[in-house]
Amino acid sequence: MALTLAFDVYGTLIDTTGVTVALQQHAGEQAGAFARLWREKQLEYSFRRGLMRQYEPFTVCTQHALEYACSFFAIELSEADKAQLMAAYRTLPAFAEVADGLQALKAAGYRMYAFSNGHPDDVENLLLHADIRDHFLDVISVHEIQSFKPDPAVYEHFLQRTGAQPGEAWLISSNPFDVIGAIAVGMQAAWVKRTPDALFDPWGIRPTVTVSGLTELPAALSA
């Protein structure tokens, strides 16, 4: 069987900093910092909900993280402004090299799936908007088991859905916690180190391979 690839979506295929443009009219020079805090809190809230077994869809985590960032930066937004920013999060762009990288991997015969914390409808729309949905056999979401990465059950669910054995499945992610979570259940994992100063958690667990973008993956996976 061909190797099965699980592609994280937010931060790996899709550039979450793309919301910065929409934030500039509200946060001005703080837009970049606002976007980073929004993303950090979004992930933190998903971790906490997973641990507490108090699941709410990723959209709710995103909404609550937006509320936190507004409070932190003392920015008052109308409900219409918040709705506009949430809508912007559903139309984020793909990273520049993603389409070419996915095309090369698909041509090489890999079984490719989008694998996300996001709600299935949100992920489908996001991938369609970025014009990369056709590269994937399916979208697999944590919403189906109502937990979040890096809960081991999430990765086991991916393996069950795809019929892949752990040793035949790779996670592709720019998020170190995600890479570590996948390796912990026996999968292999590629860390997409998108910036030179990105750090990997010092847990004694290293990525199987490290690449700077998806176009490097075909060579890395066949090495």
The pLDDT score that the predictor gives to residue 1 is 66
The pLDDT score that the predictor gives to residue 223 is 78
List the catalytic residue out of 8, 122, 151, 178.
Answer: 8
Give the full edge-to-edge strand order of the sheet including 4-7. 138-141, 111-116, 4-7, 169-173, 188-192, 209-211
The pLDDT score that the predictor gives to residue 2 is 87
| % of the chain at pLDDT higher than 70 | 100
CATH number for domain 4-14+92-222, candidates 3.40.50.1000, 3.40.190.10, 3.40.30.10, 3.50.50.60: 3.40.50.1000
Please tell me the distance from the alpha carbon of residue 165 to that of residue 167, in angstroms, as a whole number.
6
Query: Could you tell me the pTM of the whole model?
Result: 0.95
Tell me the average pLDDT across 157-180. Answer: 97
Indicate if 8 belongs to the active site.
yes
**153 CB-contact burial (10 Å; exposed 0-12 / middle 13-18 / buried 19+):** middle
The pLDDT score that the predictor gives to residue 176 is 98
pLDDT digits (tens, 9 = 90+) for 17-73: 999 999 999 999 999 999 999 999 999 999 999 999 999 999 999 999 999 999 999
Tell me the average pLDDT across 159-168. Answer: 96
CB atoms within 10 A of CB 52: 8
| % of the chain at pLDDT higher than 90 | 97
The pLDDT mean for the chain works out to 96
Q: Is the dihedral of CA 53, 16, 220, 5 positive or negative?
A: positive
Which ranges in the chain are annotated with CATH 3.40.50.1000? Answer: 4-14+92-222
The pLDDT score that the predictor gives to residue 106 is 96
Q: Hey, is 132 helix, strand or coil?
A: coil
Among the listed residues 56, 60, 46, the one whose alpha carbon sits nearest the alpha carbon of residue 146:
56
CATH no. for 16-89 = 1.10.150.240
What is the SS3 assignment for 177-210?
A: HHHHHHHHCCCEEEEECCCCCCCCCCCCCCCCEE
Which ranges in the chain are annotated with CATH 1.10.150.240? Answer: 16-89
Q: Is 90 exceeded by the pLDDT of residue 135?
A: yes
Please tell me the distance from the alpha carbon of residue 122 to that of residue 61, in angstroms, as a whole number.
13
The pLDDT score that the predictor gives to residue 144 is 97
